Structure formats: structure tokens, C-alpha cells
Amino acid sequence: MPRRSPTRLDPELNIDRDSYEPAYVQLVNILRRQVASGIFRPGDRLPSESELRQRYDISPMTVRRAINILADQGVVVAEQGRGTFVKPIELGAATFDLQALQELLNGEATSVRMLEASIVSADERTARKLALIEGKRAIFIRRLLSRNGKPIIYHREYLLYDPRLPSIESELEVTSLRGLFDGIGATELKRGELTIEAATLDEEEAVYLEGTVGEAAVLLEHVFYGFDNRPVSWGWFISRSENLSFRAFVGVRE
């Protein structure tokens, strides 16, 4: 952040060159506010770049940068030769994130209880998921996450057991849930695939989660791969539906 001093002019009207906020951010906010308030409606053309440049007395690149940001936020769409237009909202543009889950994990009142950490022989499904030969050994971990003493999420995970690797290290990296969420550690992991689906609690899950068998539950499956593109871990979180859901927003907020 470059300069500092309070904003002096109505940000609806002008760009404050002395603000701690960069000019392009100010312009993004001005335009977004105008879209959100209905001054520019879906389908409307925004002022052209040269109009904006003159109106706010900034350079073309600064205007372009603001427009680009609005464009990849999905607020507007720029069409070469025609203009920049406000986009109607699209249901298909909605994106859900794991913020709810992350907040659960990082909350003060949240604790993780390790139920099991053992070496097991891979069954058919585990062998398939981890690209192992059935019967080979794998590390199996079960955890229970609680919030304010109430169990919230039951987690099971299979990890590659590779005696050649510093197994403790690689295990710890994947084992630390908080680390995985925040991005601490995990330097050996290249990518992950996640799936959300609906499920119902079986007996074991119902016991741990203090729910009832057959109750609706959210299931989040995860597979992580190393830089050799081989799966390193496979597991899933399960939570009673009432304890975990996912929200998303479409359209211009605020």
C-alpha cells in the first residue's frame, strides 16, 4: 500500500489520489457500487474506457485494470469493439467454498480427538483409491472433531505407507488438519480432488456423531496427490447435515 491519509472526497464521485487505496481499487468499488445500486442494470453498457479515463482523470491502464477485475469477478463482460456490459446474474456462476468447514476447524472451541492411527492392510476400495495392490499396507487414521464438546465431524483417512520415505514427516503433513486447511506444510502435495455428496449415517457414524442411523449427512471426500501424480492420501469427512452446509452468493453484493 503506497500512500496514507484519510479519504477526503465522496468515493462515489472521485478518486482520491492520496488515499491508501490504489486508484484501480477505488474505481472497482465505485463501479461495483453503481451496479449494485441499480444505476447500471444488467445489460447496460458501462462508460467507455476513455470516458472513465477522463471522468476520473486516470491513465488508460488504470481503467483497464479496474475493468479487468470486474470482468473476472463476473460483474461485467467486456466485448471488443462494442463496450463493457453489466452481466445478468447466473445461477451457474455460483461457487461454494469450504469457509464454513474452515471456520469450524479453526474456531477456538474446536478440538480434535484422534481415535485411531494404525497400519492396516488395504482393502479393495482403498487399494483402488491409492493405486496400491490390494493387501499392501496403508496408514489408517480416524479423528473426531468437536465443537464446544459436541462432536461435529468424523474423519477417516488412508495414507500411503512408504517405508522409504520419511514416513513420520509425510504423515504429519497430511495429518495436521489445520495445516492442510491453512496451507502450512503440505509441500509434498501437488494437488487434491474433493467431492461433496449427500449420505446417511450408518451405525458407527451415528454413534460418534451422536446422531441417528439413516439421518442426512454431508460427506466430503478428498484425495491428495504428490508431485509424481500418485495418490498419497484418501479420506472423507462426514457431518450431520444440520451441522454443516455450504453457502454461495451470485450477483453483486453490498
Please, which residue, 8 or 191, has the CB nearer to DNA?
8
Q: State yes or no: residue 5 binds DNA (CB under 7 A).
A: no
Q: Which stretch binds DNA (CB under 7 A): 48-56, 138-146, 153-161, 206-214?
A: 48-56
The CB density around residue 178, as the number of other CB atoms within 10 Å, is 13
Q: State yes or no: residue 106 binds DNA (CB under 7 A).
A: no
Q: 67 contacts which partner out of a copy of itself, DNA, none, CB within 5 to 8 A by kind?
A: DNA
C-alpha cell of residue 251: 450477483
DSSP class of 135: T
Question: What does the longest C-alpha to C-alpha distance in the chain come to?
Answer: 71
- Residue environment code for 19-31, b if the CB has 16+ CB neighbours within 10 A, otherwise e: bebbbbbbbbebb
Give the SS3 label for residue 234: strand
Residues 12-41: x where in contact with DNA by CB under 7 A, - otherwise, as a string? ----------xxxx----------------
Q: Which amino acid is at 52?
A: L
Residue 156 CA, distance from chain mean position? 21
The CB density around residue 131, as the number of other CB atoms within 10 Å, is 12
Looking at the DSSP bridge assignments, the partners of residue 239 are 153, 218
Residues 76-115: x where in contact with a copy of itself by CB under 8 A, - otherwise, as a string? -----------xxxxxxxxxxxxx-xx-------------
CB of 206 to a copy of itself, least distance (A): 14
CB of 201 to a copy of itself, least distance (A): 10
CB of 166 to a copy of itself, least distance (A): 16
**Among 58, 86, 159, 218, which residue interacts with DNA (rule: CB under 7 A)?**
58
Q: State yes or no: residue 166 binds a copy of itself (CB under 8 A).
A: no
